[in-house]
Amino acid sequence: MKEKISELIEGNECTHVLYAYQDREKYLENTITYILEGIESGEHVILIENERNMNVLRKELSSRLTGDQLEKVHSVSNFDFYQSSGSYHPPAIYEQLMKTITPFIEKGIAFRSWTNVEWGALEDPCSIVDWFENETDRVVHELKLTVVCAYDSEKMPERLAESLKKNHGHLMSDYDILSSVVYSQ
Burial of 107 (0-12, 13-18, 19+ CB in 10 A): exposed
C-alpha span between 49 and 47 (Å, rounded): 6
Q: What is the pTM of this model?
A: 0.93
Average model confidence (pLDDT) for the chain?
90
CA atoms within 13 A on the CB side of 92: 10
Identify the structural domains of the chain with CATH numbers, from first to last: 2-179 (3.40.50.300)
Write down the pLDDT at residue 172. 97
Contact assessment for residue 151 and residue 184, using Cβ atoms and an 8 Å cutoff: no
Write down the pLDDT at residue 88. 63
Of 128, 136, 130, 131, nearest to 46 by C-alpha is: 136
pLDDT tens column, 16-75: 999 999 999 999 999 999 999 999 999 999 999 999 999 999 999 999 999 999 999 999
C-alpha span between 38 and 43 (Å, rounded): 5
pLDDT tens column, 73-95: 999 999 888 776 556 667 788 88
